[in-house]
Amino acid sequence: MALTCAIIGASGYTGAELAAMITRHPQLQLAGLYVSAGSSDAGKALASLHRTLLGVVDGVLEPLADDAVEQVASRAQIVFLATEHKISHDYAPRLLAAGATVFDLSAAFRFNDAAPYSAHYGFDHQFPELLNEAVYGLAEWNADAIKGARLIAVAGCYPTASLLALKPLEAAGLIAPGFVPAINAVSGVSGAGRKATLTNSFCEVSYNPYGVLAHRHQPEIARHLGRPVVFTPHLGNFPRGIVATIAVQLVAGTTAAQVDAAYAAAYTGKSCVRLYNQRCPGSWPSINAVVKTPFCDLGWKVDEALGHVVVVSAIDNLLKGASSQAIQCVNMRFGLTDFPLVGG
């Protein structure tokens, strides 16, 4: 029997992608699409907002009153929160108490302590016990913990691209002691969400850095890598996708073969990570190769004389950076078929 699923915050880009994948999944059933009670999208068909879903997803966006959150768990065994951080913070405990398994796509439970929330997210976290319980949903690295979890904090988009690139080197002990990796990453404007602003207006978008030395994803990357990083995000004039370029100082004497072996050890048999050095040597990951796919593409080059490696990572921010990674986590949590995780 299929597991029933509901999406709260279903009208956005992430919610639409989730709805498409749940509908196509042979072992999941879409049981509810919700938006806030005051949303202008309430009562509309999801496919009328995201027309790629015409004939794919037939559901209507239902208004969800704050006092009715627990009722979602009576309709769905699995609840996805594609909501603002503070809303996820408020809703997740109530859904868990009502018996749902929660997959949160916000940052509300990605840390095991409360300090980053007051410093970077504008609210004081009230549920330290859930911060300790939540499992970080970086699928390729936390599969065993995900299998027993009831609250999965799906990794952020920039952190996914960065951590998948860096963790094999860190795990193999190949990053020079005390070295602080510098991550330069560019994202398409869909990373800002569906609501129109001057910043993501087509006529205003340019290639430019933002959040320099102040972006909230920096502490998330550092926390789950286990060392400090310098993270500089950029806005690109394209709809979706992320490319991160990272230069890393290696332990003295590290060879290219050792770096190759670290990535092979980390990702052999992991279907959603594609290693360019194995599959298409001499080529580099790109936006076009990952858009509307669930893959993280990784490529690297070692300069043994300088003792450095440059790693390039590419993902679709809406899929591997959000929705398809959430479905990966569902598959792991419930032992489901690893079906093709394609977008809408």
Q: Which residues are catalytic?
A: 157
Q: What is the DSSP string of 100-159?
A: -EEEE-SSTTSSSSSHHIIIIISS----HHHHHH-EEE-TTT-HHHHHT-SEEEEPPHHH
User: In degrees rounded to 5, what are phi and psi of residue 110?
Assistant: -85, -10
Closest by Cα among 301, 270, 274, 309 to 289: 274
Closest by Cα among 207, 208, 228 to 218: 228
**Residue listed under structure tokens 């996914």:** 160
d(CA 138, CA 266): 13
- DSSP strand pairing (3-8 vs 28-36): parallel
Q: Where are the alpha helices (DSSP H) in the chain?
A: 13-24, 46-49, 69-75, 85-97, 115-116, 128-133, 143-147, 157-171, 217-225, 256-267, 276-279, 287-290, 323-334
Q: Which residues pair with 243 in a beta bridge?
A: 186, 314
